[in-house]
Amino acid sequence: MTSKSSREPSIALIGVALVAAYVLAIGAIVGTVVVVGTGSGGSSETSTPSVSTVPLKLTEFAIEGNLTVPAGQVKLQVTNAGNVDHNLTVGEGKVATKLLAAGASETIDLGILKPGDLNIFCSVAGHKDSGMTAMLKVVDAPAGGVTEVASDPMAGMDMSSHSGAETPDWAKMDADMLATFAAFPAATEGIGNQVLEPTVLPDGTKQFELTAAITKWEVEPGRVVDAWTYNGMVPGPMLKLDVGDRIKVIFHNRLPVNQDIHWHGIEAPFSMDGVAPITQDPVKPGADFNYEFSVDRPYMGMYHSHLHGVTAVPDGMFGVIQVGPTPIAKGVTIGGRPIPANVVPAVDMPMVLNDAGVIGFSLNGKSFPATAPIVVNQGDWVAVTYFNEGLQSHPMHLHAFPQLVTAVDGFPLEQPYWVDTLLVAPGQRYTVMFQADQKGTWVYHCHILNHVERSAGMFGMVTAIVVK
């Protein structure tokens, strides 16, 4: 421990040091250098930097405004012209506005910037990857003193419209919206959730192989991202087991970082829980690891990365592991609605929810209009299990057909119940069933509206039930 000096520094020197530290900190935050000129004879002189105040608008989902500013002191005057909360984050997140409600504004000072590029984005989960990102270009400043780029971020806005936004091009909005509907269902490369067939070993163990790698994945038509995948798909392959099975998963890590696999909602031995470095050593890039355990009761579980999970999981490293049959109700009457004893769902499917990372707002790894419709005949029963691998809760709403909740996190309910809209929190699994007794194409979506619509039309967490 360093001993305290017997000489106390003067208050003036403390003040100078604090100011200097503050200026250097601001320069470090924005990744620039503060320049102080030196005159002849050893005396120092400070040139007056230009000051640019840049008005920016946040909408669903875009950052709009003058994105080219002269070098010098830069302030961002940020207004939320959208309908939901947004913020503006600069660089690596050390400078940001608070969360702004619709119509709210805040000015942030970036300090003195040198020429270069600075990334700005909304850090609300899912917003950046839905388009709320831009590059602020800092160019050589003109000679002379203060340059005000603008002073009023509301200039030119029609204050009679919602949230203070500019008057939209209604005709274009209509055309874009109808075009997204017309494209459904759109073809894209790749299908997730494919059942992975095991190799059955001589002792009866069911052996699977999962390879983690960064793979090109088409989330919606024309939007191809670098997804983190298991076996090249999002969601990863579905693992289906019977109660009493012994499982062996050979995990190949072909990512550039250490990895593991956590079996979410599955009871496994401590050494197999997949939480590096606590239950196991991290699986290094290029290395393999074997997970082996038995499953002695039914489960509706998930598997996903735990190490680097904040990046890997939203970017696609998640999958479904099911042990035993899907828990449905039959031979009962609930809420005045009879459920026949001989019900066999025509469709029994997982619906994995995501809202962040490069995948963004999606159902089973795809964004509307690339989401797959559920096609059945009139009178058919359907079973769906929601698996929320995202960062937000999602109220899942199905038009026309009430959903009967039969299990929560894989545990069958003694008293199933009917809902119109079911809120599914991160990490939760809900199993529902419904009867498609009316012909038509019925919309099926998250009911948080900016998870399903943007200014360019429908997207994200939307699909449909097609009843023939």
Query: Could you tell me if residue 395 is inside a domain?
Result: yes
Q: Give me the tens of pLDDT residue by residue for the chain, a chain 468 residues long.
A: 443 333 343 434 334 343 344 434 434 434 333 333 333 334 444 455 568 888 999 988 889 888 898 888 999 999 998 777 899 999 887 789 998 987 889 999 988 888 999 899 998 877 887 788 999 999 987 655 544 444 444 443 343 344 444 577 889 989 999 999 999 999 999 999 999 999 999 999 999 999 999 999 999 999 999 999 999 999 999 999 999 999 999 999 999 999 999 999 999 999 999 999 999 999 999 999 999 999 999 999 999 999 999 999 999 999 999 999 999 999 999 999 999 999 999 999 999 999 999 999 999 999 999 999 999 999 999 999 999 999 999 999 999 999 999 999 999 999 999 999 999 999 999 999 999 999 999 999 999 999 999 888 999 999 999 999
Confirm whether 410 is domain-assigned. Answer: yes
* Separation CA 345–CA 328 (nearest Å): 9
The CATH number covering residue 279 comes to 2.60.40.420
SS3 191: coil
Last-in-domain residue among 128, 153, 178: 153
Length of the chain: 468
Residues 390, 253 within the same domain: yes
In this predicted model, what pLDDT tens digit does every residue of 268-306 receive, in sequence order? Answer: 999 999 999 999 999 999 999 999 999 999 999 999 999
Please tell me the pTM assigned to this model.
0.74
Q: How many domains does the chain have?
A: 2
Where are the extended beta strands (E) located within 114-259? 116-121, 133-139, 199-200, 206-220, 223-230, 239-241, 246-253
Give yes or no: residues 136 and 224 share one domain: no
Query: How much of the chain is helix, strand and coil, in % rounded to 5?
Result: 10, 45, 45
Element (H, E) at 183: helix 170-183
Residue 108 DSSP code: E
Domain endpoint, select from 127, 153, 179: 153
Range(s) of the domain holding residue 141: 46-153
Q: Are 458 and 429 in contact (CB under 8 A)?
A: no
The rounded distance, in Å, linking the Cα atoms of 353 and 427 is 10
| Cβ-Cβ contacts under 8 Å for 127 (sequence gap 6 or more) | 61, 86, 121
**Token pair of 155 as six digits:** 């200039």
First vs last C-alpha separation in the chain: 78
What's the pLDDT tens digit per position in 358-410? 999 999 999 999 999 999 999 999 999 999 999 999 999 999 999 999 999 99
Q: Are residues 400 and 339 in the same domain?
A: yes
